[in-house]
Amino acid sequence: MYGAPPSAFVTRRAELALAAKSDGRADDARRIRAARRPTLAAWTANLLLRAEPEESRRFLELGRALREAYRSLDATAIGELSEQRRRIVAALTRQAVQHARDAGQRLSDSVRQDVESTLRAVLADAQAADQWATGRLESALIPPSDFPSGPAAEAGTPRQPPPPPTRSRPQDELAERRRQRQERLEQARTAAEEAQRRLDDRRADHQDADTALRRAQDRQGQAERQQDDAQRQLTAAEEQLRQAQETHRTAQEQLNEAQEDLRHAARDRREAERRAHTTAEALTHAEQEAREATQQLKRLTRRRTDPSEKP
């Protein structure tokens, strides 16, 4: 969830919470829903931890070494490690910015400064180092004004520099006012970060809702176009069916007419056959009568021309 881009955090959180709830892990679902969307600087610091695990491990070891040097007040070690600290913080900040750019996020100067501030806090404070090591930072970390010393440094107690020499009352009052002003400043920064995070969450929610609306509108438009296409196809099919029915009706009428003509022709043929048979018999009879009449005529003619023939 924390590895997703900031714009996808809210959606990914909802998906994971729903999956946990569906699996019967109600407590996990509540914890997931309670997770806050990280600021862009915190997301970049988390991204660096995931993208550069070996570099991050060495960076955490450097922090432990620096804090140990401050506890032991080893001036030589402090000088050497501080120079190393500056170089590594600058290098890791550049790497973090590049990883963010590769992931499609361009960082402003203020966000870049917050990333660098977070890395310096990781070096200076064990509690900050532990938070960053989880990969789930929600906001940028603020480093102490100076490294702490003594056993309390690793325990994560309030970070204070070594006690200064005894000062006069006005100096103490001035130091107290500065401390209070610094405390108010840090509180204001925290409040501003919280407000910015809430604003980012609302913007992300609005962006997600706007994206969902556009997708729904696109799906509706596509569905309407599909409905129009289907309606046109149905109308064309109905027209084709109507024409086919009309063609079928015409063909049926033609078939009926042809069958009626065939019946009439068959009847006429039978009648003609009867007539032909009748006339054939009459012709045969007439031919027989004609032959008999011819023979009779011949006999009568011979009698008239031959006196010896008896009548």
pLDDT band at residue 118, thresholds of 50, 70 and 90? very high
d(CA 41, CA 59): 18
Q: What's the confidence (pLDDT) of residue 1?
A: 78
pLDDT value, residue 167: 46
Query: Are the C-beta atoms of residues 121 and 22 closer than 8 Å to each other?
Result: no
Q: pLDDT value at position 45?
A: 94
Reference 40, options 106, 128, 125, 117; nearest CA is: 106
The mean-pLDDT minimum among 14-23, 96-105, 199-208, 282-291 falls in 199-208
Site of tokens 């491990």: 57
Residue 93: the pLDDT is: 94
Instruction: Please give the full DSSP string across 181-209, using - where no structure is assigned.
Output: HHHHHHHHHHHHHHHHHHHHHHHHHHHHH
Q: Residue 98: what pLDDT?
A: 94
pLDDT for 308 equals 62
**Per-residue pLDDT tens for 140-158?**
999 886 554 434 344 343 3
Place 81 in a pLDDT band, splitting at 50, 70 and 90: low
Nearest to 186 by CA among 164, 152, 153, 158: 158
pLDDT (mean) for 171-190: 64
pLDDT at 78: 66
What's the pLDDT score for residue 261? 85
The pLDDT tens digits for 252-307 are 999 898 898 888 888 888 988 888 889 888 889 899 999 999 988 888 888 776 66
